[in-house]
Structure 1
Amino acid sequence: MNTVNDYNLKAAAQEGDINLLYRIIEEDPYVLEHLDIIPFVETPLHVAASMGYLHFATEIMRLKPSFAWKLNKQGFSPIHLALQHGQRRMVQCLVDINKELVRVKGREGVTPLHFVSQCGDIDLLANFLLACPNSIEDVNVRSETALHIAVKNKQHEALEVLVGWLKRSSQRGAMQLEKTTLNWKDESGNTVLHISALLNDSQALGLLIKTKMDLKAKNLENLTAMDIAASAEIKGKLVKAGVKCGSSTIDDESLTLAHKLRSKITTLDKIIIYMLRIREDISEEQRNAFLVLAVLIATATYQAALNPPGGFYQANAGGNNNQNTSSGNVSEGKAGTSVMSEGDFFTLSIMNTLSFLVSTVTIFILTPSGIVSKILISPVFWLAYCVIYSVKVVSPTYASKIVNEILLYGFNLLFWVVYCIFVVVYKRLQGYRLLDCE
């Protein structure tokens, strides 16, 4: 490498002189390439970012985008140096050019988001979250998130911005991101709630207990936030939030994965595992095909329930509902009931109702899990309930009404059994973390 050009390049960056930069490139077209192959080096972008030369930094970024990710020998990237020297316009300019720079990790894994959380620059913090929402997931070498850093440095406004972002975010997977980030544990197993309790920070703790924090989470020393609370005020807030004081019972959530794997597999566990394996073995194409088939069956059986063959008895103007049956005998049929014979209607209603119930349960099972599927549970249940009730209403015989009444209660029981099983399934999934074992 040409040391003279290297010196001149640094001088050009210190002066923000773009013309000098191109004169150096004319002498040595590979001058920037020589710098790029060095793992840890101070590039012209580092110098320009520190000194706030926007135009020069933008030109370097255009010529060599990789310089923005380079760390100098002290472990800092250009955006880290701009933050350290208070060059806010430079920081914003770099982020505008490349939003992912919010996630560049410098010394000890500190990102720009961590830095502004530590110093409490809430305007930059908000801009970083807007530019790169996933940056809130990043952790440093101590496994600390931006929330941990804000609580440790008692930057309450920064903590409010971070929590507010998690609550308001509507990106894909936002609910899981909120829960995971709030309950993230550092290298000691401490959540942000543990840290606020340990530091006797009632303001931070008051904000956190109103979120989706796990108030019973334990660190590596098997202690909860209540156990390490530094004052009666903190303990009082936790008790008011619903934490039982002095409770040492071991619940299912406090068991480690090793304990759960060593435990005896119950009959319910076997059923759950069997169902999960079937569910996971179904490809996306198969799932879609089965859903279409189940919907078609449900639609056909729904129409058959509302319009049984032969139609219904009609009320005439004189109020006489006598109708001729298929056997040639005259019998009185109630308006709105099926004209089918008792035996035929009974057979049709049983087979049709069972087909409808199986198809609706299949739709429920094949529907991807999430908040939308939970919302759809209620209308699907009431639709099935109304279909069975409609069959009972149009039934021409008392015996068929009794059978359909039994089906109503049976379906009600079946639905809630299936629902409870799936609730247990997903709770067990979260407990065992089976989805993460690939």
Structure 2
Amino acid sequence: MNPNLLNSSVTGNVQLLNALLQVDELILDRIPVSCFNETPLHIAALSGHLDFVKILVRKKPSLAMSLDSLRRTALHLASAEGHVEIVRELLNVMSPIGWCSRDQDGRTPLHMAAMNEQLEVIKVLIETKPDIGRELQENGDTVLHTCISCNRFEAMKLLSKLWNEEELATLTDRNGNTLLHLAVIQKQIQTVKYLLEKSSIRETGNIVNGHGFTVMDVLDHRPQDLGALQIRSVLMEANFRRGSVYGRST
């Protein structure tokens, strides 16, 4: 990449970018197409340089669909960093396919926002494409399972609105874990209490995962510290029980 173009991308120097474009109108067209390089748009989106991004996508909209070495678009980076206005700009020039583009780990921009609990970005993304949150990752997990795995409670609450209560009760990951299974495994008492506010989840609380374990069973497999005791108390109050795998139903 042209050193001056790289420098302007890092610093967000709009004046330098305009000067470069005035001297060479095709400078953006000569950006090397390589899986090892970030484009100026990747760099500016990551750094939050909104005005710089606006110029780039106006001059060369196709940059928004370019991938870096980890198969991330600029939208992935802006979403992860919470740059809401940049996210809006990128969505305006990208196709719906780009909104759902997956990086090398199968994560969409929404996953990146959820993992970093960028709530305003999440709102923009699901307003643009409401069903984007319901799409499964390549490993079969939902974005809600990702939120719980990363302990992103507020993101999980926001995204859970994309499903009705009955659906929330039966969403499972690749190991057959419901949201409640995973919250118990992670010992997230706040999440457990939130999920148990849903009547459908309370009513299906003794569903088993891929290993044949109920939520009480998986709790028995966790270290019995204060967090486990608190969750056990909540589950017992909700009349949850161990599965037959233990030869008992208490």
**Alignment TM-score > 0.5, same fold:** yes
User: Are 2:117 and 1:120 aligned?
Assistant: yes
1:224 to 214, 230, 249: 214
SS at match of 2:181: helix
Q: CA separation in 1, counterparts of 2:187 and 2:118?
A: 23
> Closer, same or farther in 2 for the Cα pair 1:85/1:233, shift >3 Å?
closer
- Which residues of 2 match residues 345-424 of structure 1 at below 5 A? none
Partner of 2:64 in structure 1? Answer: 68
Q: Give the ranges of 4+ consecutive aligned residues of structure 1 lying more than 6 Å apart after TM superposition.
A: none
> Closer, same or farther in 2 for the Cα pair 1:184/1:41, shift >3 Å?
farther
> Closer, same or farther in 2 for the Cα pair 1:245/1:47, shift >3 Å?
closer
Checking the alignment, whether the CA contact within 8 Å between 2:214 and 2:243 is kept in structure 1 is: no
Partner of 2:131 in structure 1? Answer: 134
- Aligned residues: CA RMSD: 3.3
Give how far 1:99 is off: 7.8
Give how far 1:118 is off: 2.1
Partner of 2:181 in structure 1? Answer: 194
CA offsets, 1:17-40, max 9 Å, x none? 4423423543xx4x5445475445
Give how far 1:196 is off: 0.7
1:41 to 32, 37, 44: 37
Partner of 1:19 in structure 2? Answer: 18
Give how far 1:102 is off: 4.4
Q: CA separation in 1, counterparts of 2:231 and 2:28?
A: 56
- What is the letter of the counterpart of residue 23 of structure 1? Q
> Closer, same or farther in 2 for the Cα pair 1:216/1:40, shift >3 Å?
farther
Question: Sequence identity of aligned pairs in percent?
Answer: 26
> Closer, same or farther in 2 for the Cα pair 1:166/1:236, shift >3 Å?
same
CA offsets, 1:200-247, max 9 Å, x none? 222212222316445344333222222102435434544554544444
Checking the alignment, whether the CA contact within 8 Å between 2:64 and 2:93 is kept in structure 1 is: no
> Closer, same or farther in 2 for the Cα pair 1:77/1:225, shift >3 Å?
same
Partner of 2:143 in structure 1? Answer: 146
SS at match of 1:108: coil
Checking the alignment, whether the CA contact within 8 Å between 1:41 and 1:70 is kept in structure 2 is: no
User: Are 2:65 and 1:56 aligned?
Assistant: no
Q: CA separation in 2, counterparts of 1:131 and 1:238?
A: 38
Q: CA separation in 1, counterparts of 2:131 and 2:36?
A: 26
> Closer, same or farther in 2 for the Cα pair 1:65/1:236, shift >3 Å?
same
- Which residues of 2 match residues 1-20 of structure 1 at below 5 A? 6-14=2-10, 15-16=13-14, 17-20=16-19
Greater C-alpha radius of gyration: 1
The structure richer in helix per residue is 1
